Amino acid sequence: MNLPNRLTVFRIVLVPVIVLVYIFPYAQFGIEPRVFTVGNVSISIINLITLAIYLVAAITDALDGHIARSRNMMTTFGKFADPIADKMLTTTMFLLFVSRGIIPVVPVIIMVCRDIIVDGCRMIAASNGKVVPAQMMGKLKTVLQMVSVALILLNNLPFELWGLPISKLILWFAAFVSLASGVSYFTQLKGDIMESK
């Protein structure tokens, strides 16, 4: 297994680590996580630790693709596992936030349904011998999701100090871009999807 693929697998392994850190029942074990206050905003050290792990995972996402392309180390496994690792990471974070009532469920449903539809479209295209490269809109969606997760973990700091709901705006913008990206993929592959034999 080459380096880019190892980084992808490492990113997948970090997903359950993030879940454990974020939802571990600290109080039941007599642990009181430290809480920091910035202005009128409180933020738990658990959020900061989760953010640190998430950022490491996000960095591996950028690294594995760069290394694979620059060193001509792209593999079938990498093409398969890399997008799965990305979706596992971001979707897991959004589900954790929804489970705690931090964000609304609707934008998460939009993004998850988009991913399912796009994956289905790609599978149909692959069965017809077509390789569908990632679109710029899809890449923008991923960046927006990652920024949204980071801001949510930071309780919208520093924007919360000025009462600006930037984390919520980016979340909804990510959902909108995700939906538009899904429509674009479907339109591009409509001929393959709708063909009858």
Domain residue ranges in the chain? 3-194
**Tokens standing for residue 41:** 């905003």
44: helix, strand or coil: strand
- Per-residue pLDDT of 35-63, as tens digits, reads 999 988 999 999 999 999 999 998 988 88
Region 18-46: mean pLDDT is 95
Burial of 141 (0-12, 13-18, 19+ CB in 10 A): buried
Q: What percent of the chain has pLDDT over 90?
A: 56
Q: What is the predicted pLDDT for the residue at 197?
A: 53
H-assigned helices in the chain: 3-23, 45-70, 76-99, 106-127, 136-153, 166-188, 190-194
Amino acid (one-letter) located at 190? K
Most confident segment among 60-69, 72-81, 158-167: 158-167
Region 8-17: mean pLDDT is 94
Cis? peptide before 158, omega within 30° of 0: yes
Of 10-14, 95-99, 122-126, least confident by mean pLDDT is: 122-126
Question: How high does pLDDT run on average in the chain?
Answer: 88
Q: What is the pLDDT confidence band of residue 111, given thresholds at 50, 70 and 90?
A: very high
**How is domain 3-194 classified at the architecture level of CATH?**
Up-down Bundle (1.20)
More confident residue, 164 or 72: 164
Q: What is the predicted pLDDT for the residue at 102?
A: 96
Q: What is the predicted pLDDT for the residue at 29?
A: 94
Rounded to a whole number of angstroms, the distance between the first and last alpha carbons of the chain is: 39
Q: Can you give the pTM of this predicted structure?
A: 0.89
Query: Could you count the other beta carbons within 10 Å of the beta carbon of residue 172?
Result: 18
Q: What is the pLDDT confidence band of residue 133, given thresholds at 50, 70 and 90?
A: low
Cα–Cα–Cα angle for 33, 36, 41, nearest 5°? 125
